[in-house]
Every structure is written in structure tokens, then in C-alpha cells.
Amino acid sequence: MRSDKLTQAYEFLRAHVGTPFSIQDMVDATGWQHATVRTYLSKQWEAFTSKTSEGYVVGKDFLDYPLDVFLRMNSQKFMVNKDPFKPILSQRTEELVTKSRESALLAVQVYNNPVLQFRTPSFIVHMVIAYTALFHAIFEEEGTDYRYYGNEGAVIKSDGEDKLWELTKCIDMYWKDRTTPVRKNIEFFILLRNAVEHRWAPPLDFSIAAECQALLNNYETLLTDHFTRYYAIGVQIAVPIQISRVTNSAKVDALRELQKTDTMFITQFIQRFRDGLSDEIFASMEYAFRVYLIPKPANRASSSDYSMEFVNADAPDIASLQKSIVLLKSRQVQVANQGKYRPGDVVRVVQEVEPRFRMHHHTQAWKYFRVRPQEKSPRGCDVDYCQYDAAHNDFIYTEKWIERLKELVGDPVKWAKVRAFRQDR
């Protein structure tokens, strides 16, 4: 049969990657006529073979061709031959996969749009649509009926259309009684969407960015596991360009917004959900994708080919970490007073852990611990915590001082003593 000979040809070609062969060699392997082999070499196989003085050579790219793709490539059906890597799906399944991909790409587009204020809630809505359509496509391909039925056995209608499983039902039927990080991640966003659907939601970007990234990563995995890399969306998504590092003040502003009385329901929901997770699931990258952005300059041309690269978070040694979880190519520029903070910056950072912390508390603290003199002079500065800035005739404070203040406000007894300290002493 023709398919048997194509299989023999496929095995022959894989065995001769990088090794020259003649037309006669292929004839001997398959039993084809010389003219048949010439036709294949000049048409269907032209993409991965080349003719040299020693014979025909198969390129290494051929190793990426699975047998089913090779068979479709050599099919006499025009559409299959034209795009052999495209999976053969029913029309309904393909429509659902297309709808799912477009919703996911729209979610990413919205999330990465710097001019939008409510990016995360919009991202969640579109990702819920993407996941729902994807599960419907999986069930459609498997032959699983994903419609709702009434007590009398008739399909329930909604606005004249069959009522289909919503996302909660889909994940229940897909995972059954199994609890996985991927499932908990989806459940988190279903519940969060329901919580904010008819209410004003504060900015959530800083609070759930790790869960958002995991939601997208898991979607890509689920999509390609069921419908191959042909439908992958990763090749169409660029890592967003960052114009600056996120400042502590921006984080504080977002935190304050979440701590307002009328939006505390969001903060409480997120905390309750996370508290209910097992340590294993909470730490999983499939539940929340946590990364560091590590600036590092390229010191040679070959190392700058990829300015960003994902590596495993549990890298066993510092050499792997230096490649970074996400590696940004940057120039190293010397900056004065790098890692030092003015008093107002110190207060804002400490307020992340104690919102009631004010400037007069900071003044009480440096007097209580005697980290600097009253007058503007370098004499008497405890350089571990405070340094005199001659250029600005002022004092700047170290990260070690900030950490000490965070420990202080976390200790009720010591914190009370500092607050009771007389500033004129």
C-alpha cells in the first residue's frame, strides 16, 4: 500500500539525516520507481532535502516532522498537503479552538496595554472565555456531550440555544475528584471574577500578577497538549517592554487602594483563598508563576541573541541563576547613593507593613536608636543605618535601617516604647 511505502520512506529519511543518499538507495528501500522518487524530491520533500555533489542530504529540520505530518504532507488532498502540520479537526472543534485562542490573545493584549486602568479584571473575563471554549473543544474532540439536560432528558435551552457547561462544570468533569495546582488556579479566577463582576474593583495588578501569569502558562500547556504546538499562542506574544522598575511608592498606592473599606472584600477574598491552599499547591509554579527580573549585561555577541529567557526556578547553582529566571540585557551604569533612601522613602516602604507609620515615628526611631546626630554633620552617624550626604546637606538611610524599622513595628512592646519616646530628648 502507498502509506506503507511512505512509512518506509519516512524511516529511511530519518536514518539518513546528514548522510548523503542516492535515488537508487531510496528505490531499494521503498520499491518505488525512479521517477516517483525524483518527483517527491523535487516537490513534497524539497523543504527538507538538498542535492549535493555526493547525493541528496536530509536536513536536521526533518527530525521535527512526526510520521503523521509526513503522511499528510504527501497526501493527494490539496488542503492537507498545503498545511501538513495542522491537526485534522472537525469543523466544530476547530471553531472552538479558534475562539479560545483569540480570546486568550485578546486577554494578553488587554493586560499589556499601559493606557488601560482595569486591565486585570478584563484579562480575567477574556481568559475565562478562552478556557471555557478550550474545554468545549476538548470535549467535542473526545465525543463528550457537554450540554445540560433537564429532568425529562431534553436538552435545556437558553435564549434558543443549547445550554452548555460553564467553566466550573468543565473543570469538574475534566479533573473529576483530582485537585491540582492548575485546577486551583482556574478556580481562583472563577471565584474572583464572580466577586468583582457587578462591583467596582480596585487595581489588582500587583496583588495577583503571579496567578495571572500561571493562568496563561497553564492555558498554553493545555491547548498544545490536546491540539499540538500548531495552535500555540506563545510565538505571537512578546514579553512586555518595561520603561522603569516598579517603585515602592506605586506598590504602596495599590496597597492603600486595596485597604479601603469599600474594596476590602477583594483583599479578604484573595487572602482566604490562598490560606485554604495546601503548601504544595501554593508553592507550585502552576498555581502562581513567580519570577525575578535580573538585569545583566551581555559581555559577548553570542550571549545577546536572546535578551530574555525563562529558566527553571529551582536552578541548583548560582551559575544557572545568573542566566536568570527572566534575563534582561542592560548596561551597567554607576549611580550615586544607590540603595539609599531619603526619610520620606523610608516611611513609604515601612508603611507597606505598618500603614500607621508616619514621619514623626521615623524621627522618634532615629533618635531612640541614636543612628545620627541632631545637627547636619557626618559625625555621630551609625553608617550601618544612616549616612551624611554632603552634596545635599542631608541624611540618607540604608536598607538595613528599613529592615530594622520593619522588625520594630512588628514588635508591639518595642514599637510602643519608641512611640512613647520624647522627641526633644
351 part of a folded domain: yes
pLDDT in tens, 247-303: 444 444 544 544 444 456 677 788 889 889 998 999 899 999 876 555 555 555 444
Q: With cut-offs at 50, 70 and 90, classify the pLDDT of residue 30.
A: very high
Range from 140-144, 146-150, 272-276, 323-327 carrying the lowest mean pLDDT: 323-327
Is residue 249 domain-shared with residue 314, that is, in the same domain? no
Of 278, 313, 348, the residue that ends a domain is: 278
What is the model's pLDDT at position 131?
Answer: 97
Give every CB contact of residue 419 below 8 A, 6+ residues apart in sequence: 361, 364
Main-chain phi, psi angles of 237, to 5 degrees:
-115, 125
10 and 45 together in one domain: yes
Together in a domain, 177 and 267: yes
CB 111 within 8 A of CB 119: yes
Domain annotation covers residue 335: no
Same domain, 159 and 271: yes
Question: Do 249 and 347 have their domain in common?
Answer: no
Q: Answer yes or no: is 288 within a domain.
A: no
Query: Which amino acid appears at position 170 of this protein?
Result: C
Say if 40 falls within a structural domain: yes
Residue 402 has pLDDT above 90, yes or no: yes
Number of domains forming the structure of the chain: 4
Radius of gyration of the chain from Cα atoms?
Answer: 31
Q: pTM for the whole thing?
A: 0.56
The arithmetic mean of pLDDT across residues 122-137, rounded, is 94
Q: Are 135 and 66 part of one and the same domain? A: no
Question: Could you tell me whether strands 386-389 and 394-398 are parallel, antiparallel, or unpaired per DSSP bridges?
Answer: antiparallel
Residues 73 and 148 in one domain: no
Residue 285 lies in a domain: no
- 37 & 132 share domain: no
CA distance linking residue 106 with residue 122, whole number of Å: 10
Residue at a domain's end among 16, 51, 82: 82
The CATH number of whichever domain residue 38 belongs to comes to 1.10.10
Strand locations in 339-393 (E): 340-341, 386-389
Q: Is 120 exposed, middle or buried (0-12, 13-18, 19+ CB in 10 A)?
A: buried
**Does residue 113 belong to any structural domain of this protein?**
yes
322 confidence band (pLDDT: 50, 70, 90)? very low
Instruction: Say if residue 176 is in the same domain as residue 265.
Output: yes
> Considering the domain boundaries, does residue 261 fall inside one?
yes
Please give the grid coordinates belonging to residue 208.
Answer: 495577583
3-state DSSP call for residue 328? Answer: strand
**Which residue range(s) make up the domain with 58?**
2-82
Here the cell at position 270 is: 484573595
Are 191 and 119 in the same domain? yes
Give the end of a domain, one of 82, 109, 142. Answer: 82
The residue among 140, 185, 187, 188 whose CA lies nearest residue 168 is 187
Residue 407 lies in a domain: yes
Query: Same structural domain for residues 104 and 146?
Result: yes
pLDDT tens, 149-180?
Answer: 998 889 999 888 899 999 999 999 999 999 99
Residues 132 and 251 both lie in one domain: yes
214-233 in b/e form (b: 16+ CB < 10 A) is bbbbbbbebbeebbeeebeb
